[in-house]
Structure 1
């Protein structure tokens, strides 16, 4: 290492005194932050930086990075390269100045190596400024990416000229001028990408050999990053891929001519009344903008009130493909139900569907529902969501599915109300969703009495996304965090494990985990255990349905391929359930010798028996202590050597009821080992039937469909006919589903169909005679006009939300949907009311 000059030493000393000198063990939140810091230090000292060697994980997480002086190393001499007459000057001279950072377990980067000395003179302030201008020009694209405003809502354009007119109008309103910049074209001269920029973008190039002029033109380019980039879509239209609203210069006042631009109906450019506010949503920048960029506030340009961040664009052809699939399914099965929601412009935005088997499954296992919308985290491409439950074999089952392009509160209310009506008004005990304030509000309004929890599986996936660097910085953080979510059933153990995790991985200051912990009572399994959960977390850990469909949700794949695979997956899941039913009915395994276990094996499915068997094993290690008796209620303390926390069980000798402080029976539906210990101490050798939950039994799906059909005449006859049809479809679908499991049952239903049809025809003949006499008796009454009848009928068909209810057996598919609108197919909502 050669000695540095006094000037170099002085500049390094000034950087140290100003706080820009890197030090060992200095921490940074990201690799970019470390680079920016070292870059600022380099500018103050007088050299330039480049990124050198790095180490990454399989998921491209940087675990180690070295930043070096731009004169580090030596230029490589390529083999066979010819000598040139005017070789480039040598810039690399083996400078050893560098800074190395490494990823720590808490997700931050720590400085592990730092070399301050250089083997060359450092640049002056003037030369640094000149080189910075060139550097800023080279990295303009990277700067733009960090400034893209995702909250801006823009339309699609038919042509590149239409996009230019749109951006030109926007620029006139904001107070700057536009020019066309770079573009990408195909061999057929089709523009696939075009960039429109502020006229002050970039810097003026200085041509080599240019003579000095006496009166040079003033500098107009300031490197402004404001721009709009469009790209062509598979449908041939242009969509905006990047929109930067920031400027690094003062904006001029918009002229009156700019404000009075009229709309051309052919090009689709907006007029002044609808305004840019109907298309663009501007957000003023904060005062601490590092580029000192300006943007107009809401006083300068009107702001559209609709929150566009909840809207996901519907891909071309998706709406038609979905409607075609739904109509086809309904033609094949009249009891298939679907609903469609449209926005105020009659654009179809949300879809929901469910078949008769899903409705029947909900009737048996709808006590717990998980609304799975994890497509947001996995980036599937299309906003697919499912209502999922768990059956008596602990298999995931689908109650309904949706394509949800709009995630506003209004759409969530529509979806949850549609789901509730599809399940004929029955509400689940517990619903699990992602962390969303809009979902919480919608569920509280539509499903009062249903307990709302956050799904721990969604919490886990979301945290993996938010703390990617932290998880890749440690090999054990993922397992420790997973145990906090899924393994603990005692509050003290959970709190201790959470604190230990934060301390071990230096995550005390992590805001994401702090906010998550504040809401722990909505997701942690140790809280609110009076809400039935059906061990949903273990089902999702081993059986996530969305992952199986994700590759078919890509925008590059046509949607009908997704529906084909969706139906295939549905058939496979239902066949697996049928196999489990057959296996459970055969009782092929050897029964246990102990009385309680033998009884449980005969009643429970194999999956439920495994849960009971685990509790029974724990019961054998429990110790029981009597805590006294008050009236008919005796209280006991149950302890285990492995677990320091005691649990208390109350037994009522009057009715034989047992309650435990761990609330596992209320939470999972399986008696806990504490309850089993108390029952055994009271010489109760048979498991009480009230503690064998039917939803876990082999005969969980055995039982007649309960319902009444008390119809009152009156109202719109057409609507009542449709409701009766839908209700009967549901009844016979359930009968057919049960009868198909046996040849004898199927033959019986088939033999009775002719008798049943003859009785129906006889009732209809009698009804026709009665109606004829009523019509003849009322001929002298004043006739209502056809118009008033039609209007009255339409008023009756209108529901509270302004939706149309299907008036025919095949559902309503009008040529134009009203708004706010729902489009209903079959509506199996139970017995119709007057």
Structure 2
């Protein structure tokens, strides 16, 4: 058989499954090696795969549904963009029956007529159980209805999220128009559903755009911040300023945390930012968000925040390894020692290790957060007394913000625990072995770090890099690199290692832009009891 789209195949197989009495799901799709277009897809029985119990209480287990069923249809894309069935497996390893087919999620679809009727019931105050009984009578029995009462309740809950209260939409639009009259660079956009109800909302001012020009290399996006009174998650885009603090780069509200909603929000934000995608983006481990990032920001490095949840026993494997090979060895030893080889969560984390393990992501800058104005004041009105004789301390104290100078001091004083063990010449670089005394569980242990150094006639042309990659990861020269610089009689830091991002003597354009006007309808955007 031949299909125009994968969705057409999924619909065909779902109808077959409904008659036979099983559900279906889209299990996988793969891209060709030559291009980014999808070339292969599989529609399988809903019981494909193996169930993993997620309950923490073994005495109160949750039911499982997967039986590793092999029934499926495989298709591949032809040169005419048609989808050709390449393999069919009809045998199931579980019982099923025609009377059960209507209960599977893939068959429970609320059509437009039923949606309109449900919304009428909701507006006039008809209780859900009575409204649903109307459908039962109209269709002469439950067996003739492709939905359940719970599906109807879920739909109405979604409608409530999409619908503003009386006057709310007008209040937001009026406010945004007022701001736009005083700030021509203020931007807002919203997305409506098929019934012209608010689905998603985005806004940003000129300050956001200017801040993105300077601090848009790494962006954090998080929908767990708070929700408004309509239970719409607030989704701020956040960058990192020269104090290592958070700075707002735009904000949105989304009614559904699905891939299409995130795609709309990301594209809208990208449009306001003149189409310049960030070099890196940090999110939680949400699959819908991940798919949207792949569509809108295909060249952006994506890193998860979920690594912070790793327990103490995993820290050595995750944080004390400098290379991928070291991580691989430590990870395998940890799985073996604690009998975690079959842990599904750890397996999923390992598959995406390039997104969260430090030794895989340290080749690109990632930032952190606090409050900007106070640190701006502190950087110009306070300073640190000298603690060393090195010229680099005075050099960076004069240009770094206080927060970043404190980080540099931490590395400079940490140099006292480091010493050069050996060196060798390789490919024009001197490779040094720097030994650092590190405290582990109250005991001092020695750890080796490789540092590569190329000397030049002028200090500014010197090149130094360490295997710990603190500079690439945090924008700060590490104690191991400083040890090698001082060991080569270099007492000032080459300007290439003094990032503009951390300087207090740079005029920041976003700080000159007036903040958003007072009078924000806070109860609409933030809500109550959030």
TM-score interval for Structure 1 and Structure 2 normalised by the shorter chain? 0.5 to 0.7
Give the CA deviation at 1:606: 1.5
- How has the CA–CA distance of structure 1 residues 627 and 479 changed in structure 2, closer, same or farther, with 3 Å as cutoff? closer
Query: 2:431 matched to 1:583?
Result: no
Give the CA deviation at 1:690: 0.6
Query: 2:441 matched to 1:646?
Result: no
Equivalence map 1:497-516=2 (5 Å): 507-516=340-349
- Secondary structure of 1:676 counterpart: helix
| CA–CA separation in structure 2 for the residues paired with 1:174 and 1:512 | 46
| CA–CA separation in structure 1 for the residues paired with 2:421 and 2:226 | 51
Partner of 1:164: 130
Partner of 1:413: 263
| CA–CA separation in structure 2 for the residues paired with 1:340 and 1:670 | 40
Give the CA deviation at 1:229: 6.7
| CA–CA separation in structure 2 for the residues paired with 1:163 and 1:329 | 45
TM-score (ref. length: structure 1): 0.42
Q: Which one of 233, 248, 270 corresponds to residue 398 of structure 1?
A: 248
Partner of 2:153: 240
- Secondary structure of 1:646 counterpart: strand
For residues 625-671 of structure 1, the C-alpha deviation after alignment (integer angstroms, 9 at most, x for no partner) is: 44432564322222224365533222223431222222221111101
Partner of 2:366: 533
Give the CA deviation at 1:734: 7.4
Q: Return 5+ residue gaps in structure 1 as ranges.
A: 1-27, 38-146, 179-196, 198-225, 231-238, 242-278, 281-307, 464-477, 544-572, 706-732, 739-834
Conserved 8 A contact 1:671-1:691: yes
- How has the CA–CA distance of structure 1 residues 650 and 399 changed in structure 2, closer, same or farther, with 3 Å as cutoff? same
- How has the CA–CA distance of structure 1 residues 511 and 671 changed in structure 2, closer, same or farther, with 3 Å as cutoff? same
TM-score (ref. length: structure 2): 0.63
Conserved 8 A contact 1:659-1:675: yes
For residues 581-636 of structure 1, the C-alpha deviation after alignment (integer angstroms, 9 at most, x for no partner) is: 12212344323342222222222111112221222233222222444325643222
Equivalence map 1:180-191=2 (5 Å): none
Larger radius of gyration: 1
Give the CA deviation at 1:372: 0.9
- Secondary structure of 1:416 counterpart: helix
| CA–CA separation in structure 2 for the residues paired with 1:683 and 1:435 | 46
Conserved 8 A contact 2:375-2:403: no
| CA–CA separation in structure 2 for the residues paired with 1:645 and 1:451 | 30
Query: 2:442 matched to 1:609?
Result: no
Give the CA deviation at 1:321: 4.7
For residues 235-256 of structure 1, the C-alpha deviation after alignment (integer angstroms, 9 at most, x for no partner) is: xxxx726xxxxxxxxxxxxxxx
Partner of 1:470: none
| CA–CA separation in structure 2 for the residues paired with 1:590 and 1:227 | 71
For residues 118-148 of structure 1, the C-alpha deviation after alignment (integer angstroms, 9 at most, x for no partner) is: xxxxxxxxxxxxxxxxxxxxxxxxxxxxx99
Q: Which one of 356, 380, 387 corresponds to residue 592 of structure 1?
A: 387
| CA–CA separation in structure 1 for the residues paired with 2:429 and 2:203 | 50
- Secondary structure of 2:161 counterpart: coil
| CA–CA separation in structure 1 for the residues paired with 2:491 and 2:384 | 22
Equivalence map 1:220-259=2 (5 Å): 228=149, 240=153
For residues 548-600 of structure 1, the C-alpha deviation after alignment (integer angstroms, 9 at most, x for no partner) is: xxxxxxxxxxxxxxxxxxxxxxxxx5xxx223212212344323342222222
Conserved 8 A contact 1:364-1:701: no
| CA–CA separation in structure 2 for the residues paired with 1:174 and 1:507 | 53
- How has the CA–CA distance of structure 1 residues 312 and 405 changed in structure 2, closer, same or farther, with 3 Å as cutoff? farther
Q: Which one of 636, 654, 663 corresponds to residue 432 of structure 2?
A: 636
Conserved 8 A contact 1:171-1:177: no
RMSD, aligned α-carbons: 4.3
Give the CA deviation at 1:404: 1.1
Q: Return 5+ residue gaps in structure 2 as ranges.
A: 1-52, 63-102, 439-444, 516-530
Query: 2:278 matched to 1:428?
Result: yes
Conserved 8 A contact 2:219-2:282: yes
Give the CA deviation at 1:373: 1.5
| CA–CA separation in structure 2 for the residues paired with 1:647 and 1:634 | 13
Equivalence map 1:347-358=2 (5 Å): 347-358=197-208
Give the CA deviation at 1:319: 4.2
| CA–CA separation in structure 2 for the residues paired with 1:649 and 1:579 | 37
Conserved 8 A contact 1:364-1:700: no
- Secondary structure of 2:256 counterpart: coil
- Secondary structure of 1:335 counterpart: coil
Equivalenced residues, count: 400
- How has the CA–CA distance of structure 1 residues 358 and 376 changed in structure 2, closer, same or farther, with 3 Å as cutoff? closer
Partner of 2:59: 34
- How has the CA–CA distance of structure 1 residues 149 and 164 changed in structure 2, closer, same or farther, with 3 Å as cutoff? farther
Structure 1 or 2: more strand by fraction: 2
- Secondary structure of 2:243 counterpart: coil
- Secondary structure of 1:679 counterpart: helix
Give the CA deviation at 1:371: 0.7
| CA–CA separation in structure 2 for the residues paired with 1:512 and 1:700 | 45
Partner of 2:493: 687
Query: 2:170 matched to 1:314?
Result: no
